[in-house]
Structure 1
Amino acid sequence: MTRSKFAERYKADTYGQLVRRSLGRKLTALLAGIQVTYLFGACVVYLIIMGDTFSSLGQLYLDPSNWLVQRDVIITGLGLGLLLPLCLLKKLGHLSSLSTLAVAGFMFTAGVVMYQGTRLVLQRPDHLEGVVWWKWDLGTLYAVPIITFGFNCHSNVVSIFRELTAEPDLLIASLPPSPSAYRTMPNFAPRPASHKLINMLGVIIGAMLVIQVGYICVGISGYLGYPHTVGSNILQSLPQDAVYAQVAQGLIGFVVLAHYPLSHFPARTGIHDVLHLLGFTQPLSWVYDLFTVLFVISSVAVARSVHSLGDALHLIGGTTASFMIFFLPGLMLINAAVMKRSNNLLDLISQDAMAFVQLGGDESSRPTYFEVVAADRLVPSLKSALVYALSVLSQRRSWLHRLLTYEDEVLATLMLVVDWHSLSTVHATFAESLYGLRRKPINGIEDASQRPSRALELALQGLFLRLRSMALRCFVASYPLGHAGIELLTFGYHLAYLLSACPAHRPVLHALGLQLARVSASDMVSVRDMLS
């Protein structure tokens, strides 16, 4: 739901666009590399499962030495003959039938595992023999990467949300149809702001319920049926001569076959984001086709050489999958919270500033000392902002870098133009107008003939800024000598005090006619009497 909300907020069509618009270009480049690596590893895992599943099924009906049932042949044939054409499709909607088959296969396989586990439990004299209801084992954490890999569908959330219709369907028939109905719910409840997000919420709830029920049923029945030991692939523990077990294995093979092009699609969008960062706003279609061909061929080659499914799952789930599924959404939420707080602070500052201007008093009231000082110090404080802006712009336009040498003159020229316009319109400088101040004659009589004196005002104001800058430079030039003189004088007093040549150890004390001495017993008694 987090990705869907941000995809709608930033009007992003891909995961890469979402990260680029919410977190910046650097994280987008990092995401693109991690996303392609993660999805490439996922596709390798799918090919390994397909090779193992269809190879074991083929050996039940054909000679094990037949080349058609060889694992490498099956991986190569399915990868180049079937998966490559599917990966060349441009939209996920074209793969909707495969997604339906994947859900049906998952539910059937869960039913087979439940049936087999229940049957084994009923066959034992003691139905719960070997079952331990609670056992703390750190090895349980070894399953976390596999669980993380199970969230592989999250990489397609943005693309699915883009193709999702805004009209409600059967999945959300029991949900409130209007976004306003969610605002009265508790804080922990989701609050979709549009009808499309409500529809996406229904899709998420439906998918998570199906997956959660399936995983819980498979986990409980599988453990009850095989309490002592079970392989990493529970389907290998089922009776291989049973037709339902063979059908379940075949469906799992087709499920992962359907997931391969679904995982390739966001990998292709990742390459699109990389090309966009490099400046290719509209790359040719053959670039994506070439990437698809290289992606499929390389994944087939890796799957042929890797035989350990568990190691592949742990490697991918513990590295790139964790970054994609947990780190990036969390970073988006943190960034959104920071931006929300910053906007709230800016709103409060704006409200306080407006209230300050409005409540400052009427025209006859005298400005406070702090208002006048704040207005005088505003323009010098803008110098650092101007220098920073020029330094940033000069990275793309090198000729602006020359202006940094004349930063005082640039600021004076800029303020000359701004203050001239401000004096001509509101009878105040730019800084004074921000604090709700204006200039008027001391005698209180407004005369249009005095307007030419504004040029003199601006000239004197610019001269003051120039003299102030020169005074600061003189102070900076003389400060080392003055500071060295003070330190040398202090060192001389310390040395003289050490040699008993001077009663005071600091020149300030000597000038005041003071010196340090120890506290005597009579002093302590007098202090005690004074405090009692």
Structure 2
Amino acid sequence: MELQKMNGHSRDDGFDGLDAMAEHDEFLPHKAGVKKDKDSHFTDFEGKTSFGMSIFNLSNAIMGSGILGLAYAMSNTGIILFIILLLSIAILSAYSIHLLLRSAGVVGMRAYEQLGNRAFGHPGKLLAGSIITVHNIGAMSSYLFIVKSELPLVIQAFMGRDDATGGEWFLNGNYLIIIVSTAIILPLALMKQLGYLGYTSGFSLSCMVFFLISVIYKKFNIPCPMPDFHNTTDDIGHNDNNGMNVTDDFCEAKLFTYNSQTAYTVPILAFAFVCHPEVLPIYTELRDATKKRMQGVANVSILAMFVMYLLTALFGYLTFFGNVESELLHTYIKLGPHDVLVLCVRLAVLVAVTLTVPVVLFPIRRALLQILFPEKPFHWARHIGIAFSLLFVVNLLVIFVPSIRDIFGLIGATSAPSLIFILPGIFYVRIVPEEQEPLMSRPKIMAACFAGLGFVFMIMSLSFIIIDWTSGESRSMGGH
């Protein structure tokens, strides 16, 4: 692919004078003197999104349905091990974004697929686009799966009913996700620029902050042990009067622990921090874009989500301990279907995940445009058609796949390490010229090791999950 002109400097086969520009100049020309070049590139236009709105969009891309499973993850690792894993994934995510931005600075491109093309030609472009598509379709499916399962229960609770025996259409999750997709998600997904979603992303984050505050509040208002949990434990073989294990262990926080479910913890945490497909589109639309400024957006977003994830997991775990469900909201339902605060929290989470879907859809559409129509200018028919087709496919998956848990685990164990570790590492090694950094230089060795860590992570995660499947052990949705 022919490389761009950058800020009036022609780029030939070499990389002369590139060091300073890659790190400090804006990659995409939007000055008056380079207007002619702007018309020929898919991603070239003047960034208009503020620093704060970019943080909202990237934070919203990071935060997703994975936050509901973090308390369960902590129950299967222990507090200390969970914090170590969470902090490690957060730091590695920030480093991988640094590699992405550095690679993008070298070639003057801000699309993941273009980096793949620059590193490995057309196969690299197809690989990057395919991984982004699969991963984000999985993420969109997980969000809509929450809408499918939770929205009927919320409507039912608002109506003051204990069951949905009438079979009304408005209590059918399949109908509801179609309505939500058509009335809310599709109009937002049709916006031309991702930056416009900053306001909805901010509102979505506010809903999740309310969720976090409620989790903390409930920790100090729910007794331990809860009678229902005690009875559930009795039902599986501890119904004698000598309940030492139940009494001693139920309200005891574990610092380190391991069981069959621990294998899912690292994929869940990795999946929870994947925002890399959205990084370059957000960078493209950032006002006064530089690598340092975009890295600041990424660091603030990752730090905010790290704090939010940690507090949610910690207080959720310290509320229910070993009996926390794999989806935290399901655990609170045991307090009673008509608990007003829990009902409001469930509604807030529904709003948050619904408003996150359009942000996740943008990178898929960009990947498909880069693969199928790389030289075509923007056209509303393609813009609308791809958004509609993606939502149609995702709705079919959510309607006909009975459980998304195993798919979620597989995606977290394959596409997540590819996007966080492998692709940024190998792109950096291939793209950054040896004139700037020799192959055996420290940055390239670190990037290569980083990519290798991703392969190790993928193999170990897949191995643990396959062993768990073949062992025949119970992988129920409840806690232990």
> Residues 65-105 of structure 1: CA distance to partner in whole angstroms, max 9, x if unpaired?
33212111111111122212221111111111111012212
Contact conserved, 2:103 with 2:431, CA < 8 A, in 1?
Answer: no
Taking the aligned partners of 1:117 and 1:127, their CA distance within structure 2 comes to: 18
The TM-score normalised by the length of structure 1 is 0.55
Contact conserved, 1:83 with 1:257, CA < 8 A, in 2?
Answer: yes
Question: 1:296: how far off?
Answer: 1.0
Q: Which residue does the alignment assign to 1:84?
A: 186
Q: Which moved more, 1:228-237 or 1:195-204?
A: 195-204
1:131 aligns with 2:228: no
1:98 aligns with 2:200: yes
Percentage of identical aligned residues:
23
Q: What amino acid is aligned across from residue 105 of structure 1 in structure 2?
A: C
Q: Which residue does the alignment assign to 1:196?
A: 290
Contact conserved, 1:108 with 1:248, CA < 8 A, in 2?
Answer: yes
Q: What amino acid is aligned across from residue 210 of structure 2 in structure 1?
A: F
> Residues 142-187 of structure 1: CA distance to partner in whole angstroms, max 9, x if unpaired?
1222222212322100011111122xxxxxxxxxxxxxxxxxxxxx
Contact conserved, 2:224 with 2:319, CA < 8 A, in 1?
Answer: no
Give 2:422's match in structure 1, choosing from 301, 323, 327: 327
CA separation of 1:317/1:248 partners in 2, compared to 1, >3 Å: closer, same or farther? same
CA separation of 1:133/1:144 partners in 2, compared to 1, >3 Å: closer, same or farther? closer
Q: What amino acid is aligned across from residue 326 of structure 2 in structure 1?
A: S
> Residues 311-369 of structure 1: CA distance to partner in whole angstroms, max 9, x if unpaired?
23212212223322221012123335673577699xxxxxxxxxxxxxxxxxxxxxxxx
Q: Which moved more, 1:91-100 or 1:195-204?
A: 195-204
Contact conserved, 1:102 with 1:255, CA < 8 A, in 2?
Answer: yes
CA separation of 1:286/1:213 partners in 2, compared to 1, >3 Å: closer, same or farther? same
Q: Which residue does the alignment assign to 1:154?
A: 276
Question: 1:38: how far off?
Answer: 1.8
Taking the aligned partners of 1:228 and 1:138, their CA distance within structure 2 comes to: 14
Question: 1:133: how far off?
Answer: 2.6
1:235 aligns with 2:357: no
1:12 aligns with 2:109: yes
Taking the aligned partners of 1:293 and 1:236, their CA distance within structure 2 comes to: 31
How many pairs are equivalent? Answer: 315
1:311 aligns with 2:406: yes
> Residues 186-241 of structure 1: CA distance to partner in whole angstroms, max 9, x if unpaired?
xxxxxxxxx72332232222212221111111222122211121211101211332
Q: Which residue does the alignment assign to 2:81?
A: none
Question: 1:265: how far off?
Answer: 0.4
Q: What amino acid is aligned across from residue 75 of structure 1 in structure 2?
A: I
CA separation of 1:344/1:297 partners in 2, compared to 1, >3 Å: closer, same or farther? closer
Taking the aligned partners of 2:282 and 2:378, their CA distance within structure 1 comes to: 23
Taking the aligned partners of 1:161 and 1:39, their CA distance within structure 2 comes to: 18
Contact conserved, 1:145 with 1:314, CA < 8 A, in 2?
Answer: yes
The TM-score normalised by the length of structure 2 is 0.60
> Residues 260-297 of structure 1: CA distance to partner in whole angstroms, max 9, x if unpaired?
111110001111111246xx444744233222211111
1:294 aligns with 2:389: yes
Contact conserved, 1:109 with 1:251, CA < 8 A, in 2?
Answer: yes
Runs of 4 or more consecutive aligned structure 1 residues displaced over 4 Å after TM superposition: 121-128, 340-345
The higher relative CO (CA closer than 8 Å, separation ≥ 6) is in 2
Runs of at least 5 residues in structure 2 that lack an aligned partner in the other structure: 1-97, 227-246, 441-480
Aligned positions of 1:111-510 closer than 5 A:
111-120=213-222, 129-137=251-259, 139-166=261-288, 196-238=290-332, 239=335, 240-276=337-373, 280-282=375-377, 284-336=379-431, 339=434
Contact conserved, 2:174 with 2:399, CA < 8 A, in 1?
Answer: yes
CA separation of 1:151/1:132 partners in 2, compared to 1, >3 Å: closer, same or farther? closer
Contact conserved, 1:48 with 1:307, CA < 8 A, in 2?
Answer: no
- Structure 1 residue matching 2:125: 3-state secondary structure: helix
Contact conserved, 2:274 with 2:419, CA < 8 A, in 1?
Answer: no
CA separation of 1:89/1:132 partners in 2, compared to 1, >3 Å: closer, same or farther? same
Alignment root-mean-square deviation, CA: 2.6
- Structure 1 residue matching 2:387: 3-state secondary structure: helix
CA separation of 1:42/1:224 partners in 2, compared to 1, >3 Å: closer, same or farther? same
CA separation of 1:283/1:275 partners in 2, compared to 1, >3 Å: closer, same or farther? farther
Q: Which residue does the alignment assign to 1:45?
A: 142
Taking the aligned partners of 1:241 and 1:318, their CA distance within structure 2 comes to: 37
Q: What amino acid is aligned across from residue 222 of structure 2 in structure 1?
A: L
Taking the aligned partners of 2:437 and 2:201, their CA distance within structure 1 comes to: 42
Larger Rg computed on CA atoms: 1
Question: 1:128: how far off?
Answer: 7.9
Taking the aligned partners of 1:4 and 1:71, their CA distance within structure 2 comes to: 41
Contact conserved, 1:45 with 1:312, CA < 8 A, in 2?
Answer: no
Contact conserved, 1:275 with 1:281, CA < 8 A, in 2?
Answer: no
CA separation of 1:77/1:150 partners in 2, compared to 1, >3 Å: closer, same or farther? same
Q: What amino acid is aligned across from residue 96 of structure 1 in structure 2?
A: G
Contact conserved, 2:224 with 2:251, CA < 8 A, in 1?
Answer: no
Q: What amino acid is aligned across from residue 228 of structure 1 in structure 2?
A: G
CA separation of 1:208/1:297 partners in 2, compared to 1, >3 Å: closer, same or farther? same
Q: Which residue does the alignment assign to 1:180?
A: none
Taking the aligned partners of 1:122 and 1:33, their CA distance within structure 2 comes to: 47
Q: Which residue does the alignment assign to 2:176?
A: 74
Runs of at least 5 residues in structure 1 that lack an aligned partner in the other structure: 167-194, 346-532
